[in-house]
Structure 1
Amino acid sequence: MPFEVQILGSNSAAPAHGRHHTSQSVRIQNYQFLIDCGESAQLQMKRYGVKKNRLSHIFISHLHGDHFLGLMGLLSTMHLNGRKHELTVYGPIGLADIITIQLKYSNTRLSYPLNFVELRSEQSELILDNKVVSVFTIPLKHKIQCNGFLFKEKPKPRKLIKEKIESVDLKIAEINSLKNGEDVLDEDGKLKYSIAEFTLPPRKSRSYAFCSDTIYNEEIIPLIKDVDLLYHESTFLHELIDRAKQTFHTTVKQAATIAKKADVHRLILGHFSNRYRELEPLLAEARSEFKESYLGEEGLTFYVED
């Protein structure tokens, strides 16, 4: 089953050099999510084949324009396309007011239920929990309230050994017990079928952490420890560390340091400053600190195998 992150926008502040504002499509099994929604998000979704109608949840990290100004347009387009099923938007306090007032003064009544979940950033919170994935906030330190998001795939059932299963007459309830990691006992409480004999370990559960705009902050390390894939904003080369501190952003080297200290498997760089037309120097700086670093270039999809 898929677990993939597709980069729709990778630039900071303003579009430049063919790059667009921050936005990512995240697909986990049968769920389609959107993280941040810069101005060109819906155009990028169309360009790269991301189906708007499959979206069930949208996560907005903070209320700087390059991270949410495409949201109203996307919501409107889904309305014009006749969407009927519910959509939930997670974001900072104030986002619901911004969208609601635009709907009010455009006299728009959406064709679908739209729910807002207001987020705080004092501590990590579980904000979505379904049969496939749990999503937690990652409190970040920026000029305004800001959160990252941690996606953790739920534990998967154990795999049945076909030859073993076919050799005995198992009931459906017994099969389910084995898949859930439970030995099957007889009426006397004695072992009847063991998971060691009839099953194999489940496929691994995968994880993705999205860390939007933030100053260098080691407090997030315990939250993102050992994740399969980390996106961390990497606005400047390290020679501009003073500028990074002033604007509450992170240098490429700092992002790579966070990845290294958190023992993540792979790092995606993004939120590139307009001053950089070519991005190879940023990649080189990151890999000098953390080898498994990659540019979050638009259109790229990062896959996590189970």
Structure 2
Amino acid sequence: MKFEVTILGSSSATPIFNRNPTAQVLNINEKLYLVDCAEGTQQQMLRFDVRASRIDYIFISHLHGDHYLGLVGLLSSLHLNGRKKALKVFCPAPLKEIIDLQLKYSETTLHYPVEFVFTSDEKREVILDNQDIIVETIPLDHRIPTTGFLFKQKKRLRKLIKEKLEELEIPVPYYTALKKGRDYEAPDGTIYKNDTLTIDSDEPKTYAYCSDTLYTEKYFEQINSATLLYHESTFLNDMLDRALITHHTTALQAGEVALKTNAAKLIIGHFSARYKTLNELLDEARSVFPNTELAVEGKTFVISE
């Protein structure tokens, strides 16, 4: 099952040359999930060939403008382009009031339903459970209510050993039962154990999206052993005092999060506009956690094939 994330924006607070504020799109089994939607996100979608019409789920981490100001424009464009199917938006509750007000004063009535599912930074909770993925909120510690999101791939069915099935002439209609773990009884009464006919599927993969937050260990247990961890890294560690005041994380601290939570890979983003180049941020994170990459716009990170 395809499971990958493409970076649409990696700047914090304000856009700068070559960097837009935060937005990412996940492709999970050919379904698209948008995570945060800063201003300019639609342009980034066009730039990186992401079809907005394929997005059915949008996740907004918090209500600082660099994470949601592109949303009303996206909703309006989907309306103008004739969208009819429903859209789900997972977000802090006040966002619905903001969007309703913007639509009211532009005298816009969307031609498709939008369902708002409200998140809370008080506790972790499952907010989406479909055939491919389970999504949990990650309560974070920022200046306003903020959550990250943990995307957990569902356990896949067992894999068939086709040579064995053909050898035993097992009927094709029985394959689904085998994938679900059932043994096979041949016409002569012989029982073939499932583990002789199938192999276990790969372990489910996870993507942890940790948006704006103060460095804290309160979410470490929840994101432990993430296949891919995205963590904000607004500042270099020489600006730790500023990070504490603004409730952000440094690149060094992001590396420590990845190390302490046994992440397989770390990507860092949400870079302050003061940094025109990002090599120092990358080097700082890698000094603690070598398997780190930058959330460079347009780059796709494969979580599972």
- What TM-score range do you get, normalising by the shorter chain? over 0.9
1:73 match: secondary structure = helix
Q: What is the CA distance between 1:164 and its match in structure 2?
A: 1.4
Q: Which runs of 5+ in 1 are unaligned?
A: none
1:289 match: secondary structure = coil
| Aligned match of 2:147 | 147
| Aligned match of 1:21 | 21
One-letter code aligned to 1:15: P
Q: For 1:245 and 1:182, locate their aligned partners in 2 and report how far apart those are by CA, in whole Å.
A: 55
| Aligned match of 2:77 | 77
Q: For 1:162 and 1:183, locate their aligned partners in 2 and report how far apart those are by CA, in whole Å.
A: 15
Q: What is the CA distance between 1:85 and its match in structure 2?
A: 0.8
- Are residues 1:304 and 2:303 paired? yes
| Aligned match of 2:63 | 63
1:218 match: secondary structure = coil
| Aligned match of 2:286 | 287
One-letter code aligned to 1:69: L
Q: What is the CA distance between 1:44 and its match in structure 2?
A: 0.2
Q: For 1:262 and 1:225, locate their aligned partners in 2 and report how far apart those are by CA, in whole Å.
A: 5
| Aligned match of 1:176 | 176
Which TM-score applies when normalising by structure 2? Answer: 0.96
Q: What is the CA distance between 1:205 and its match in structure 2?
A: 1.6
Q: What is the CA distance between 1:192 and its match in structure 2?
A: 1.7
RMSD, aligned CA: 1.6
Q: For 1:222 and 1:191, locate their aligned partners in 2 and report how far apart those are by CA, in whole Å.
A: 46
Q: Which runs of 5+ in 2 are unaligned?
A: none
Q: What is the CA distance between 1:117 and its match in structure 2?
A: 0.4
One-letter code aligned to 1:80: L
Q: Deviations over 1:247-290 (max 9, x none)?
A: 00000010110000000011111000011001000000000000
Q: For 2:53 and 2:202, locate their aligned partners in 1 and report how far apart those are by CA, in whole Å.
A: 29
One-letter code aligned to 1:299: G
Q: For 1:175 and 1:228, locate their aligned partners in 2 and report how far apart those are by CA, in whole Å.
A: 30
Q: For 1:170 and 1:30, locate their aligned partners in 2 and report how far apart those are by CA, in whole Å.
A: 31
Contact 1:183 1:191 in 2 (8 A): no
Contact 1:178 1:194 in 2 (8 A): no
1:227 match: secondary structure = coil
Q: For 2:167 and 2:159, locate their aligned partners in 1 and report how far apart those are by CA, in whole Å.
A: 16
Q: What is the correspondence of 1:176-255 to structure 2 with a 5 Å cutoff?
A: 176-184=176-184, 192-255=191-254
My pick for the range that moved more, 146-155 or 178-187, is: 178-187
One-letter code aligned to 1:100: D
| Aligned match of 1:46 | 46
- Are residues 1:158 and 2:158 paired? yes
One-letter code aligned to 1:42: Q
My pick for the range that moved more, 286-295 or 167-176, is: 167-176
Q: For 2:161 and 2:66, locate their aligned partners in 1 and report how far apart those are by CA, in whole Å.
A: 50
Q: Deviations over 1:7-26 (max 9, x none)?
A: 00000011113211100011
Q: Deviations over 1:46-92 (max 9, x none)?
A: 10001101001000000000000000000000000001111000000
Q: Percent identity?
A: 49
Q: What is the CA distance between 1:172 and its match in structure 2?
A: 5.7
